[in-house]
Amino acid sequence: MWQTGAAIAVLVAASGMVPGYTRPPEDEIAAVKQRFGPLQQLSFATGYEYCGYLGRDARDRIQFTPIRRGHTDGCTPVIPDDSFAATASLHTHGAYSPSVPAEFPTVRDMVSDAREGVNGYIGTPGGRLWFIDGKAKIAVQLCGLGCLPSDPNFVAGDDGEIAQSYSLEDLRELEAAPL
């Protein structure tokens, strides 16, 4: 019986019908995928995370702040000035490492977005694209392995089974679990 419930949960998450979650606009998802293409490649080549912000101008056109290089385990984007209304952060999770779980958002990712009052997008070494609904504190996998460029060294399965969505509490439990 649990298999039926699990299958329904996966379908609901994949469709964007996660309770409390608001799916981002399709044009925004498309722009983020396009922007992540070169960022993912750069991230894999250098081993660093890259980050920035997304927003919309007065004509409702999507814009990105300049992208900043972070470190091997984090990136803090430059806070845009008042002329840029940031609606989401974006960052890569760097190059693949068998010792670093990077195929899902972290508690720090979600808490940072919630504190800043923005949503978030994350690209993983396996090429997944995650969306964090900062208000609802829910992360939803918008597309799976290979959706974005993936690190040529990536080994699928190293981070265990990856769910379609996580709450903040789910991520806390996941980070506390032994590898």
Domain assignments of the chain as residue spans, ordered by start: 2-176
H helices present in 107-167, as ranges: 107-116
Distances (CA, A) of 43 to 74, 91, 151, 155: 12, 10, 9, 16
Average pLDDT, the chain: 89
In sequence order, the 6+-apart residues with CB closer than 8 A to the CB of 98 are 155, 158
pTM of the predicted protein model: 0.88
Say whether 88 sits in a helix, a strand or coil.
Answer: strand
**Residue of 149, 161, 175, 150 lying closest to 37 (CA atoms):** 149
**Pair 78, 90: CB distance under 8 Å:** no
What pLDDT shows up at residue 7? 36
Q: What is the pLDDT of residues 72-97, one digit of tens each?
A: 989 999 888 877 889 999 999 999 99
Q: What is the pLDDT of residues 18-74, one digit of tens each?
A: 777 889 999 999 999 999 999 999 999 999 999 999 998 888 899 999 999 999 989
